[in-house]
């Protein structure tokens, strides 16, 4: 699912936790998992979380369901 970075910052991240184990909000492009959906950058540009894995990122960037096959570099 792609969404703007400003919208993503109001979604919870399952990887970020406080000291008392509560989830924190997404950091958007400040996170190493963030992937841009296109060449644009900024709060209104679309992107997605790469923590879901390569297939989810490719599907989100393509704007469709999961791709039929994903060629891995080790294939």
- Model pTM? 0.61
The answer to whether the beta carbons of residues 13 and 27 sit under 8 Å apart is yes
For 16-71, what is each residue's pLDDT tens digit?
898 898 999 999 989 988 888 888 888 888 888 888 666 555 666 666 444 444 44
For residues 22 and 8, give the distance between their C-alpha atoms in angstroms, rounded to a whole number.
Answer: 18
pLDDT of residue 74: 55
Provide the sign of the torsion angle of the four alpha carbons 61, 56, 31, 18, taken in this order.
Answer: positive
pLDDT at site 69: 47
Q: What is the pLDDT of residue 56?
A: 59
Residue 10 CA to its chain's centroid (Å): 13
| 8 Å CB contact between 5 and 28 | yes
Q: What is the pLDDT of residue 63?
A: 60
């Amino acid at each position: 699912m792609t969404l703007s970075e400003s919208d993503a910052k109001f979604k919870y991240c399952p990887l970020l936790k406080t000291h008392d184990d509560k989830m924190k909000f997404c950091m958007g492009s400040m996170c190493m998992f963030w992937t841009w959906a296109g060449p644009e950058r900024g709060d209104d540009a679309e992107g997605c979380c790469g923590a879901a894995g390569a297939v989810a990122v490719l599907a989100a960037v393509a704007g469709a369901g999961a791709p039929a096959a994903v060629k891995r570099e080790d294939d």
